[in-house]
A and B are shown apart, each in its own frame.
Chain A
Amino acid sequence: MSYQVDKNGFYGEFGGAFIPELLYPNIEELQENYLEIEKSPAFQEEFNQLLKDYVGRPTPLFLAKRLSAKYGGEIWLKREDLCHTGAHKINNTIGQILLAERLGKKRIIAETGAGQHGVATATVCALKGLQCIVYMGEKDIERQAPNVARMKMLGAEVRPATSGSKTLKDATNEAMRDWINNPEDTHYIIGSVVGPHPYPDMVARYQSVISKEIKEQLQGLPDYVIACVGGGSNAMGAFYHFLDDPSVQLIGVEAAGLGVHTDKTAATLTLGTPGVLHASRSIMMQDKDGQVVEPHSISAGLDYPGIGPAHAWLKVSERAQYLAVTDADALTAAVECSRLEGIIPALETAHAFAVLGRLGLKPTDRVVINLSGRGDKDMDTYMKELDLFQ
């Protein structure tokens, strides 16, 4: 079974490029060039050099002894939180800015949920001296204020998305509309493994450095790789080089919000059905009429009613397993990780930690959790939601 994209841009039945004709030339340009550019020695050299000297890669793989003692097994943390800007998102934005530069684009747009992708985009735009506009849901602008300030300090313009649920989905709609209106000079840096082909594959390739390093650092295969999933880019990066190693159990963790049986949830793969959202066929949360359901998660980065098509395929083909974690359990896990390991994780990442107790680990099991981002940006939410601050 292949878990890679096929020549038409599909993972099994999922993927494709369901784009309005208005975006056809942009997408065609990317489809025709992304692989060739990525494989060119000049791109590789600059990409690797920036990942090393600018992002700080390779990120450490850290043995979390106190978490291991609590849950059994050997728990390793892949420290993407130590990347420049504080999350894995920059691996992708470095790749895409180099691509955009080679395609002669002058203006960069992006969508952001938690603001990590927006910050990572603003960062690489500053690095390359390109204009940067970031669309962000109005609700997320409120709950992720530190990241909004960072983007502005980096010289980006942050435009609020005021439609729908005023979160990541709506920011993505606005970014796509911007691209339709500015088709020639603009590159759209999508922040996750979503959107029309070639984005899911392209973003997965730029993020795949995560699993490449894990494989080298662990010197052997883990039994589990665990990552949180909104659109799914950190998970895809962490899974990528293990997809063809069937002994490695891949676990994606979705946001259950208030619970998968409530109407306040973002557990797309648990609850969703096949459909087309943001220009690819995947699994999405929708009502019987095919209207997109407004999601809910305490974490802005997971508050999304869709998921990357590759994850839909990994789920349907049973290569990966997807679990859901509530807001409350994610908060508890965030405190636990902070107190047992001295690492305050992002709220998104905290969801991944919350499944440790469900795995029934054996002492010999080796578990890698992708610690996709640090929690500085979430301190407002932590202070508001956690009893210890009351």
Chain B
Amino acid sequence: MNNKLTALFKTKPKNLLNIFFTAGFPKLEDTSTILSALEQAGVDLIEIGIPFSDPLADGPTIQESSKIALENGMSIEMLFKQLHQFRAQNAAFNTPIMLMGYLNPVMQYGIEAFCKRCQELGVDGLIIPDLPMYIYLTEFKEVFEKHNISNIFLVTPQTSEKRIREIDENSTGFIYAVSSASTTGGNTAFTAAAGYLGKLRDMNLNTPILTGFNIKNKQNFEDACSYVDGAIIGSEFIRQISQEGNLQNQITNYIQSIR
């Protein structure tokens, strides 16, 4: 299977909207509803979070959704089972899918087995925030490449230019630029990140850049896209689907409010 991420970026698209949600939230069986609704609403990329008991890089919203998802019974095995079923029933589904998860559950699953399953299920990229670059390069890269999976690195306003260049060289897919040094879902004004995103844009990296953390609404999204190739919405999306109501409508309405 081709890597849809790589294919997507070949056309040098702009204003990409990437939505993150936690697998198994709000209900265990919502994965397929959310995936379908997101594609129908015209989202460009989808990031599925694998819940972890100790999500260090996440703020309260995603901590809470992870906790509920685990209580609902979500696990890597369960997510793979759901994705398998989803693919079988939605052959035309064409949006790139990435998984985001912490290293420990992936390690326990076994990195080789994990990547193999990802490839079989059409997962195009992985975001593992606590997998440092040097460990990726020495222990994981070969397996990722063998299974045609992009590893998505993060950069922050504190990342040095030298390291950004190094990350650029080792990236396939895109670079995930954290808009301010913070756990997910924080309140830092997006405008504070403008200088940093401008700097990233001016570095003319080979790898496309999406920015995330603290993007909530149309204004934030457009601001972000004026600097880089697209933006990622996570915590705010989780908040939207946490409310009472019809999940599908919530998703459609929210995505329409952004685009």
Contacts and interface: CB of A to CB of B under 8 A. Distances in A.
Contacts of A163: 63, 67
Given A164-B54, A288-B108, A290-B106, A18 B135 contact: yes
B183 A177 contact: yes
Interface in B158-189: 158-160, 163, 178, 181-183, 186
A183 B109 CA distance: 32
A181 interface: yes
A260 B71 CA distance: 25
B178 A289 contact: no
B54 A173 contact: yes
B120 interface: no
A173 B56 contact: yes
Contacts of A24: 132, 156, 158-159, 163
A21 B130 CA distance: 7
Interface string A151-184: 0000000000001100001000100110011011
Given A163-B67, A181-B181, A181-B183, A292 B158 contact: no
B4 to A, nearest CB: 24
A21 B186 CA distance: 17
Interface residues of B, number: 39
Contacts of B52: 290-291
Interface string B24-55: 00000000000000000000000000001110
Contact of B75 (A16, A177, A289, A292): A289
A164 B53 contact: yes
A286 interface: yes
Interface stretch (A228-236, A248-256, A271-279): A271-279
B77 interface: yes
Contacts of A328: none
Interface in B184-207: 186
A164 B130 CA distance: 20
Q: Which of A17, A22, A25, A291 has the most CB of B within 10 A?
A: A22
B183 A275 contact: no
Interface in B224-251: none
Interface in A6-31: 16-22, 24-25
Nearest to A25: B158
A145 B152 CA distance: 45
Q: Which of A169, A177, A288 has the most CB of B within 10 A?
A: A177
A292 B75 CA distance: 13
A277 B104 contact: yes
A22 B183 CA distance: 9
A289 to B, nearest CB: 4
Contact of A184 (B56, B103, B109, B158): B158
B56 A177 contact: yes
B155 interface: yes
B154 interface: yes
A21 B76 contact: no
Nearest to B56: A176
Given A176-B56, A180-B57, A275 B160 contact: no
15 contacts: A18-B135, A21-B129, A163-B63, A164-B53, A177-B57, A180-B56, A180-B57, A181-B181, A275-B108, A278-B56, A286-B108, A290-B104, A290-B106, A290-B107, A292-B54
Given A164-B53, A279-B56, A284-B104, 7 more contacts: A18-B135, A21-B129, A22-B129, A24-B159, A173-B56, A180-B56, A290-B105
Q: Which 5 pairs, one residue from A and one from B, show the smallest C-beta to C-beta distance?
A: A290-B108, A290-B105, A21-B154, A291-B53, A20-B129
Interface of A: 16-22, 24-25, 163-164, 169, 173, 176-177, 180-181, 183-184, 275-279, 284, 286, 288-292
